[in-house]
């Protein structure tokens, strides 16, 4: 799996987890969910998104401390995740365009040679 696909899969995982937290609330998060969030935080560190890893770790710490600031941290994290998703979308589009140009270029050169 390439880095972009891995990053998108990790984003999807954390978005699903955060959606569950919105529904269930931050005061009664099961230990299994916290473990999954820690795994995702580690994954963000692995793919080079340290800022997301740190924000997620901070959310986990606030939830475990039953701190009311957890809700605000979750909103900040979601904002950062959406921004990261946009950056990945732009990188994907750029990569696709570069591939398209590379594939089209040999055809254009052949057409010029025939003329």
Average pLDDT over residues 19-36: 91
Query: pTM to 2 decimals?
Result: 0.76
pLDDT at 48: 86
Over the stretch 87-108, which tens digit does the pLDDT of each residue have? 888 776 667 667 677 777 765 5
Report d(CA 14, CA 22) in Å as an integer.
Answer: 12
* pLDDT at residue 34 is higher than 90: yes
pLDDT at 112: 61
Tokens standing for residue 75: 């909103």
Question: How many beta carbons lie within 10 A of that of residue 89, not counting itself?
Answer: 12
pLDDT at 108: 58
């Amino acid at each position: 799996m390439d880095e972009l696909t891995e990053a998108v899969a990790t984003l999807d995982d954390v978005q699903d987890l955060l959606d569950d937290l919105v529904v269930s609330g931050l005061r009664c998060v099961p230990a299994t969910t916290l473990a999954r969030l820690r795994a995702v935080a580690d994954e963000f560190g692995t793919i080079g998104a340290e800022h997301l890893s740190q924000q997620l770790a901070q959310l986990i710490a606030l939830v475990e401390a039953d701190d009311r600031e957890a809700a605000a941290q979750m909103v900040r994290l979601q904002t950062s995740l959406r921004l990261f998703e946009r950056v990945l979308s732009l990188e994907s589009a750029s990569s696709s365009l570069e591939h398209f140009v590379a594939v089209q270029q040999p055809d254009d050169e052949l057409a010029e040679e025939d003329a």
